[in-house]
Amino acid sequence: MNAIEFRAELVKIMPGYSWTVHKTPKGMTYLSATGIQSSGFNRLSTLSVVRRERDGTVSYEAKSAGYGTRARWLHTNTAGTLARALRGLQDHYEAVANTYRSHASALKTGRLLEGGAA
C-alpha cells in the first residue's frame, strides 16, 4: 500500500478528521498519519494511525489525544484492520465513560437526603 491509498482508506473510515500522511524513511515498512478535528483554532481531537506490514501480516495501531495540540495520548489500540483498531478505541472510551457515569450516579444518590432533597 502506498501513501495515497492509505490516506484514501483513512478518509473513507474517518471523514470527520483532516488527515496528514507522514513521509516514511526509505526501507521502512510502515505508514503513519495524523488526523485532527478542530473548531476554529481549537483542536478538539487528534488521532494517530500507524500501519505496519511484517511477514505479510498487516496491523494498525491507533491512538488518540484530547483537546489541544499538546494533549497527552489517552489510549492506544492495535488490530488487524483500521476499522477494528478505531472501534477498539471507541469501545475503550465508552467503557470508561460508563464507569465514571456509574460512580457519578452513586455519589449523587449518596448526597440525596431521605426526603429527596439534595
Q: DSSP string spanning 16-62?
A: TSEEEEEP--TT--EEEEEEEEEETTEEEEEEEEEEEEETTEEEEEE
Task: Tell me phi and psi for residue 20, to 5 degrees.
Answer: -125, 120
Q: What mean pLDDT comes out for the span 36-45?
A: 90
Mean pLDDT of the chain, nearest integer: 91
Euclidean distance between CA atoms 27 and 103, whole angstroms: 49
Q: Which three cell numbers stand for residue 40?
A: 476554529
Q: State pLDDT tens for residues 75-116.
A: 999 999 999 999 999 999 999 999 999 999 998 888 886 666
- Of the candidates 71, 70, 52, the one whose C-alpha atom is nearest the C-alpha of residue 61 is 52
Helices (H) then strands (E): counts for the chain: 2, 5
- Whole-model pTM over 0.75: yes
Instruction: Please give the Cα distance from 41 to 24 (Å, whole number).
Output: 28
- C-alpha 73/C-alpha 47 separation (Å) is 9
